[in-house]
Amino acid sequence: MPTKRQPTVAFQGELGAFSHMAAQKLLGRHIRLLPCTRFEDVFQALRADTATHGVIPIENTLHGSVHENYDHLLEFDVPIVGETSIRISHQLIAMPGTKLRDVRRAFSHPVAINQCLGFFAAHKDIERMPFYDTAGSVKMLKEEGPVGAAAIASAAAAEIYGGVILKRNIEDDRRNFTRFFLLTKQKMKTGPRSGAWKTTLVLSIPNRPGSLFKVTAALALRDLNLTKIESRPLRGKPWEYLFYIDLQGHQQDEATRNALKHLSEITSIVKVLGSYQAVP
Amino acid sequence: MPTKRQPTVAFQGELGAFSHMAAQKLLGRHIRLLPCTRFEDVFQALRADTATHGVIPIENTLHGSVHENYDHLLEFDVPIVGETSIRISHQLIAMPGTKLRDVRRAFSHPVAINQCLGFFAAHKDIERMPFYDTAGSVKMLKEEGPVGAAAIASAAAAEIYGGVILKRNIEDDRRNFTRFFLLTKQKMKTGPRSGAWKTTLVLSIPNRPGSLFKVTAALALRDLNLTKIESRPLRGKPWEYLFYIDLQGHQQDEATRNALKHLSEITSIVKVLGSYQAVP
């Protein structure tokens, strides 16, 4: 059973996945890890208390929001208690003994391969080999030892599976960041709140001229600043929209409480998903 | 050289990709196709006039907006002139002669494989084989003829490469839709505008309480209805946000022109990406 001293952290992917790096950044290195196949399994582990914490990606600077995780946040009652951001940077990794000039095949998830097209253009003798998972491709190198093979994954994956980084940061675009949320049902330490806080809300409004204007008015009238707003059409409910909103401030602040009360007058659903310290 | 009679349509992916299906839905079957490796290549083909039209995915109901394509729309001056929506549904495809009971391996892009986990749970004797591309995996079956192999791709891919659909619609989630934009530099037929129109804008506002309130006010004061709004933090410019907005109406309507004039007073960038007939 997980103890309070050492958190058990559920995340989607293999050991060495970017979610694993985010878990370490949020909770340190003394954590037990529970790799999961699907995002939903992370939430199920929290519900079943097989994990004390969960770490999920919520948006990426190139690929947008992970709507699926917003759906799970609405369905499962596990508050957001932290956020962090990880730069997605790809390393060319091989097992010890393999040199860059020996490499003929590079395994990785196709999304990662497609983020390193400049590297492949400069190394036309290296074949691109699609694989399930970035970290999993390093694990495969370790377990199966294919000759002349490398993998593209995180620096953490190289460390975990005993790989050597042959070439660092081979990604084409350095503006590739993923934002992660930390989830837990555990009561967080209270006391005076210092620093900058953020609160994430989901709300649903009818698709009518002026609906969103009223929502932004309820926030602007309390001088609350939005750091994210996103609409999402609800399939099957063509006249309803779901909105994700991040605002600066804690849900217990007077201004936020007043704004939430006002929002509940004009929206059909308004749910606070959590308050957490803002990471710049 | 492309003629006006038969459009040449650039899209990302292989023949049989979902973008190819979107191109046919937008322009019919009498089109020349120009498959491209990257989204940027679609825009380059339009700039170089090697294509008359481009078709790009802009958002997916499960995975969110394709920020990269918004970046290209800002950079390249090619207006949006149409939209459509395609349900992403996956077919298990094999070459003629292969029966479902013969299949031991199923090739596809890992994102598609992960959208068919229910199928693999019910067919534990079929191994999941990651491949570059959904349609490309059907092409590979045709060219290489591996024994006991199938692919997961669109119905269009089955038709193009002479495959047989062994099992239809094996995706887990039927709410998986992708919205596509049609782009062209060609002048569109003018004349009286009938039906419902939409206009897509990008604008940039300073991150201050009330900024977004002013933007929504400029639209609500003209009774303009928003059908999409999304903020995107600009990396490297921490106090600026980019907003994507879709509103009902044509950019030449009086209300829209007045709203755009008002928006230009309160935003640092406001750019109309195009007006097009709304698809419900």
pLDDT of residue A253: 94
CA dist., res. A31 & res. A27, Å (int): 7
Q: Which architecture, in CATH terms, is B8-87+176-184?
A: 3-Layer(aba) Sandwich (3.40)
Alpha-helix residue ranges (DSSP H) falling in A221-272? 254-266
Which amino acid makes up residue B99? K
pLDDT band at A187 (very low <50, low <70, confident <90, very high): confident
Mutate to test the interface with A, among B230, B237, B247 (most CBs of A within 10 A): B230
Q: What pLDDT score does B200 carry?
A: 97
- CATH class belonging to B197-277: alpha beta
Please confirm, yes or no, whether A178 is among the known catalytic residues: yes
Q: Do A238 and B280 touch (CB under 8 A)?
A: yes
So what's the pLDDT on residue A61? 81
pLDDT of A133:
86
Which residues are registered as beta bridge partners of B180? B57, B84
Domain with CATH 3.40.190.10 in chain B: 8-87+176-184, 91-167
Residue of A nearest to B248 (CA): A209
Regarding the domain delimited by A8-88+176-184, which CATH topology (the fold level of the hierarchy) does it fall under? D-Maltodextrin-Binding Protein; domain 2 (3.40.190)
Phi, psi angle pair for A34, to nearest 5°: -125, 90
CATH number of A91-167: 3.40.190.10
Structure tokens at A188: 């967080």
What ipTM score was computed for the predicted complex, to two decimals?
Answer: 0.79
pLDDT, average across residues A62-80: 89
Contacts of B67 in chain A (CB under 8 A): 61-64
Contact B212 A216 (CB under 8 A): yes
Bridge-based pairing state of the strands B197-206 and B240-248: antiparallel
Mean pLDDT of chain A: 90
| pLDDT tens per residue, range A101-158 | 999 999 998 889 988 989 999 999 999 998 888 999 999 999 999 999 999 999 999 9
A149-163 b/e (C-beta count within 10 Å ≥ 16 → b): bbbbbbbbbbebbeb
CB-CB neighbors (< 8 A) of B228 in chain A = 231, 233
| Polymer length of chain A | 280
Of B273, B279, B198, residue with least CA distance to B243: B273
Q: Which segment of A124-128, A228-232, A233-237, B160-164 scores lowest on mean pLDDT?
A: A233-237
Model pLDDT, residue B279? 86
Question: Can you list the residues of chain B whose pLDDT is less than 50?
Answer: 2-3
**pLDDT given for residue B67 in this prediction:** 85
Strand order of the β-sheet with A149-153 is: A127-130, A105-108, A149-153, A91-94, A164-167
Rounded to two decimals, the pTM is 0.86
pLDDT for res B227: 87
A261-275 pLDDT, tens digit per residue, is 999 999 888 999 999
Closest alpha carbon within chain B to A137: B130
Nearest chain B residue to A246, by CA: B231
Provide, as residue numbers in chain A, all residues whose Cβ is less than 8 Å from the Cβ of B238.
Answer: 280
Answer yes or no: are the C-beta atoms of A109 and A134 closer than 8 Å.
yes
pLDDT tier, A227 (very low <50, low <70, confident <90, very high otherwise) = confident
Identify the three-state secondary structure at position A86.
Answer: strand
Contact B212 A229 (CB under 8 A): yes
- A61–B280 CB contact, under 8 Å: no
How many residues are present in chain B?
Answer: 280
Which pairing describes strands A53-60 and A177-184: parallel, antiparallel, or unpaired? Answer: antiparallel
pLDDT of A3 over the 70 cut: no
Please list the residue range(s) of chain A that carry CATH number 3.30.70.260: 197-277
- The catalytic residues of B are 178, 180
Q: How many CB atoms lie within 10 A of CB B145?
A: 11
* Contacts of B97 by beta carbon, 8 Å cutoff, 6+ apart: none
Return the pLDDT at B104: 96
Percentage of chain B beyond pLDDT 70 is 94
In a mutagenesis test of the A interface, which of B88, B212, B247 is the best target, namely the one with the most A β-carbons within 10 Å? B212
What does the pLDDT read at residue B189? 65
Tell me whether residues B132 and A132 touch, CB distance under 8 A. no
Give residue for tokens 């059908």: B227
Under an 8 A CB cutoff, do B223 and A209 touch?
A: yes
pLDDT digits (tens, 9 = 90+) for B16-72: 999 999 999 999 999 999 999 889 999 999 999 999 999 999 988 877 888 889 989
Q: What is the pLDDT of residues A151-178, one digit of tens each?
A: 999 999 999 999 999 999 999 888 888 9
